[in-house]
Chains A and B, each alone.
Chain A
Amino acid sequence: MQPVNVVIAGVGGQGNVVASEILATALAACGYRVSVGETFGASQRGGSVMSHVRAARGETPGPLIPKGLVDIVVGFEPLETLRIIADYGRETTRVVVNPRPVYPLAVQAGEASYPDSRDLLETLGTLAAEVTVVEATELARRAGDVRAQNLAMVGALVGTGWLPIRPDAVVRILGERFADEMLRLNREAFRLGLEDVRQRV
């Protein structure tokens, strides 16, 4: 059986590693054997990063998703989301994306331009089977800290229902991983992302 393949795409420092860990743990709680392929270290310094989260019944899958087999892209940043869909996606790929740009150095220095946000989202729409836009940074700000954007996105993903993950499983996992204010913040960000998507359906 084919594994379920999810890519979390973003910019170094946006918290994709924590998000992938939570997601993988939640999938394991559903009975899957999981694998996560990460790249961290130098890429955290503002470079493009992606986490490959794979879940299978039976044998543990390899850590990297072959190109063209991605089922879901969780995009923390719209430009990176486009790159990942172009490289790894296919016509059945579904996307949940935070539209807030993080500008590369070349753009700030005036040597390159960042595509128009509407164009970006539109292009994503032509490539993916489904695109759900979530203002995760704003939701995280409401929860108390913009850096919890990653958990708001996990909440949004769970809210889409594309994966058989139950919200209370994630809430419990967060309790095993965090404490005090961090726990409150992450649970709240997760809840806001979850409800933001659920109330659209």
Chain B
Amino acid sequence: MSLHALGTDAPGQLVILSGNEAIARGALEAGLGYAASYPGSPSSEVLGSLGALARAGGFYAEWSTNEKVAMEGAAAASFAGVRAMTVMKADGLNVALDALTSLAYSGTKGGMVVVVSDDPGAHSSTKEEDTRYLVRACHLPLLEPATVEEAKEMTRWAFDLSEAVGLPVVLRSVTRISHARGSVTLGALRPAPRTARYDLNDRFITTSLFHQVLHQRIGQTRARFEQAPFNSCEGPAAAPRLVIAAGPSFTYAREAVRLLGLGEEVRVLKLGTTWPLPEDFLGAHLKGAREVLFLEEIEPFLETEVKSYWAQHAAELGPVTFLGKASGHVAGAGAPGVGELTPEIALRAVGALAGREFEPRSEAFARKVDRLPLHDLPPRALAFCPGCPHRASFWAIKAALELDGRQGVVLGDIGCYTLGAMQTGYFTLKTVHAMGSGVGLASGFGKLDLLGFTQPVVAVVGDSTFYHSVIPALVNARYNDAPVLVVVLDNSTTAMTGHQPHPGTGRHATGDLAPALPIEAIARGLGVPTEVQDPLRVDETVESVYRLLKTDGAKLLILRSPCVLLPSVKRLRRAAVDPARCIGEACGCGRFCNRAFSCPALVWDRALERARVDDVLCSGCGVCVDLCPRQAIAFQELASCSR
């Protein structure tokens, strides 16, 4: 993260920023006063960078408990006349949606920008959700940047727009903006205000009486969109073949036209303000088009909106062939709208428009590649890091359930520990849904005993997830006396998204100290029996889980051990295998450490026919030392091993 570039007051300087940093910078150039967010890939680094700059910049930045609270915090600042921003991933918008639909009715005051990052291809998500439909359902202005630099420009512009029309403005980013880097020209920084005040003549009440007002505001937005600098068209004016693109798909479209040599034959219309559609602008460019190709992520949102516009104006516009995801012309290996829209898909679609193909490789090369046994190459499944306490936790939970013998069901949630549904977590988790869903489901399963259910129920949640949305579900389980075991995997951080702090870690987004709100205090306050256990002591953990499975009512077991990637966790020792004691494949082991426990640092040495510890990867957690049936693995102190 190039923080020093981000906070520099040097307008005109050319720097490299990530999309998230560019968004943060855009807000700073707009005079941001308040920022709140909950971590969610690919959006987390926006608040991450703002948090690091907040103190010096004189503005407020917080990691909130969840996205709804974050949005409400930002709304408060807006009501007090302060420019505010809230940031989330697509799933986070789902959480905050009730607040956002309400704000659309109540209106806002100080510019409020809602940054939502979708994840086409679900690189870091459980779903690939296209939030543009939700923004449209809220009736709120929608902006889609096509480049990292545009993300900065749009963010700054969005604050002005928000104040002009009195509505929150949604900036919809995607992974290829948020997590990309690009050259950016810095603008001037604007200081945060010192005039926060709630004018008692203002009222921000959500009432259906304001539905009509909302529509009027959207009409004003549309008028401004007609003049927005983010919509453009390039290529020959008379060309009947038109590509309409939004987001980074625009850069793929432009590169495709260049690589295919179609610069004189195909027009490319870039839309940056995608809802409400700038209809006059659109209509002007649709005239004369006979074939229109849509390149957008994730769903055929624009495709449908434009077709609807065309249907309204069919008489003037004449017949047009629309090509895109809805028509099936733009698709990857999966169905249209499934998976990321890649440059190759864009090349194929644009090429098909003009009957051209793009093949940059020689036939000889292509044949060599065909002959490679690529499908024989081992796939690389996701795995818990070496030393991750979750591996030990899932190992213990699974063992306890096997020993319990009643076919217990384990319900999962969102975090690094979601990998507990895969091989690295021994396929322990049977369900994964939304944040907090694990305990909600557990509460339901727990009450099925009336209907013949006899299986023990375990819900596995993370520490950050606990504060986010588990508490109401835990209250429900306690209130309804559901016999469920909630296991909190507390690694003292929000790990999967980049180790952000949360209410249990004792730190703010700025790095300052914060009061720590221990999970055990909350649970015990609800009357839920709670125990704390070190998951790296596997035998003890197995016994704790086993014992708790036989008790009644709702109970909580906190498996607490810090994430090995945290800087505060020092590597003091390594494990090493004594080849003289290791029995490898033989009965009594069967390659237990590397095959069954399966830590990435435990390697099977085929030549020696013994297990070996990869000293680059080993973090020294010691679980394999305990698990080895022949005590063949022992610690080596750091001094005696070369790093």
A and B directly contacting (CB within 8 A): yes
A residues engaging B (CB < 8 A)?
11-13, 20-21, 24-25, 28, 33-43, 45-48, 60-69, 79-80, 82-83, 86, 89-91, 102-110, 112-115, 123, 126-127, 137, 141, 144-147, 176-177
Q: Within 8 Å CB of B16, what residues of A? A: 21, 24-25, 28, 34, 36
Q: Which of B225-233, B382-390, B474-482 forms part of the interface with chain A?
A: B382-390
Asked if A13 and B385 sit within 8 Å, CB to CB, the answer is yes
Tell whether A62 pairs with B181 under 8 Å between CB atoms, given A106-B381, A108-B602.
no
Asked if A61 and B600 sit within 8 Å, CB to CB, the answer is no
Asked if A38 and B181 sit within 8 Å, CB to CB, the answer is yes
Q: Within 8 Å CB of B183, what residues of A? A: 28, 33-35, 60
Tell whether A146 pairs with B643 under 8 Å between CB atoms, given A41-B41, A112-B378.
yes
Q: Does B317 contact A (CB under 8 A)?
A: no
Q: Within 8 Å CB of B361, what residues of A? A: 68, 89-91
> Can you report 20 A-B residue pairs in the complex whose CB atoms are below 8 A from each other?
A21-B181, A25-B16, A34-B16, A36-B16, A36-B181, A41-B42, A46-B385, A62-B248, A65-B343, A86-B372, A89-B361, A90-B361, A91-B362, A102-B617, A104-B379, A105-B381, A108-B604, A137-B616, A145-B643, A177-B2
Q: Which of B128-136, B206-214, B251-259, B448-456 forms part of the interface with chain A?
A: B251-259
Complexed CA–CA distance, A64 and B424 (Å): 30
Asked if B251 and A108 sit within 8 Å, CB to CB, the answer is no
Q: Does B83 contact A (CB under 8 A)?
A: no
Q: Within 8 Å CB of A91, what residues of B? A: 361-362, 364-365
Complexed CA–CA distance, A115 and B362 (Å): 26
Complexed CA–CA distance, A108 and B614 (Å): 12
Complexed CA–CA distance, A110 and B596 (Å): 10
Q: Does B123 contact A (CB under 8 A)?
A: yes
B639 nearest CB across to chain A (Å): 14
Q: Within 8 Å CB of A80, what residues of B? A: 380
Q: Within 8 Å CB of A109, what residues of B? A: 423, 594-595, 598
Q: How many contacts A-B (CB < 8 Å)?
A: 194
**Cβ-closest chain B residue relative to A67:** B344
**CB < 8 Å: which of B180, B259, B364, B385 contacts A36?**
B180
**Most chain A beta-carbon neighbours within 10 Å: one of B42, B180, B259, B369:** B180
Number of chain B residues close to chain A: CB under 8 A: 69
Interface membership of chain B positions 610-642, coded 1 if the CB is closer than 8 angstroms to chain A and 0 otherwise: 000000110000000000000000000000001
Complexed CA–CA distance, A176 and B2 (Å): 9
Q: Does B194 contact A (CB under 8 A)?
A: no
- Docked complex: B305-361 residues within 8 A CB-CB of A: 342-344, 347, 358-361
A116 nearest CB across to chain B (Å): 10
B425 nearest CB across to chain A (Å): 11
- Docked complex: B391-442 residues within 8 A CB-CB of A: 416, 419, 423-424
B623 nearest CB across to chain A (Å): 15
- Docked complex: B160-192 residues within 8 A CB-CB of A: 175-177, 179-183
Complexed CA–CA distance, A177 and B175 (Å): 24
Asked if B252 and A20 sit within 8 Å, CB to CB, the answer is no
Complexed CA–CA distance, A104 and B342 (Å): 26
B137 nearest CB across to chain A (Å): 27
Asked if B42 and A127 sit within 8 Å, CB to CB, the answer is no
Asked if A60 and B182 sit within 8 Å, CB to CB, the answer is yes
Tell whether A127 pairs with B369 under 8 Å between CB atoms, given A24-B181, A28-B16, A141-B642.
yes
Q: Does B561 contact A (CB under 8 A)?
A: no
Complexed CA–CA distance, A45 and B41 (Å): 14
Asked if A41 and B497 sit within 8 Å, CB to CB, the answer is yes
Asked if A42 and B382 sit within 8 Å, CB to CB, the answer is yes
Q: Within 8 Å CB of B617, what residues of A? A: 102
Q: Does B4 contact A (CB under 8 A)?
A: yes
Complexed CA–CA distance, A83 and B361 (Å): 16
**CB < 8 Å: which of A82, A89, A126, A141 contacts B643?**
A141
B152 nearest CB across to chain A (Å): 12
Interface membership of chain B positions 15-50, coded 1 if the CB is closer than 8 angstroms to chain A and 0 otherwise: 110000000000000000000000001100000000
Q: Does B149 contact A (CB under 8 A)?
A: yes
Complexed CA–CA distance, A56 and B374 (Å): 32
Q: Does B147 contact A (CB under 8 A)?
A: yes
**Cβ-closest chain A residue relative to B368:** A127
Complexed CA–CA distance, A28 and B17 (Å): 11
Asked if A60 and B603 sit within 8 Å, CB to CB, the answer is no
Complexed CA–CA distance, A67 and B347 (Å): 10
**Most chain B beta-carbon neighbours within 10 Å: one of A61, A66, A123:** A66
Asked if B359 and A68 sit within 8 Å, CB to CB, the answer is yes
- Give 6 closest A-B pairs by Cβ, nearest first: A41-B124, A62-B251, A41-B41, A112-B378, A68-B360, A36-B181
Complexed CA–CA distance, A86 and B364 (Å): 13
Q: Does B377 contact A (CB under 8 A)?
A: yes
A45-B496, A108-B602 known; 9 other A-B pairs, CB under 8 Å?
A39-B175, A48-B380, A61-B251, A89-B361, A90-B360, A91-B365, A104-B379, A108-B598, A108-B600
Asked if A38 and B179 sit within 8 Å, CB to CB, the answer is yes
Q: Does B139 contact A (CB under 8 A)?
A: no
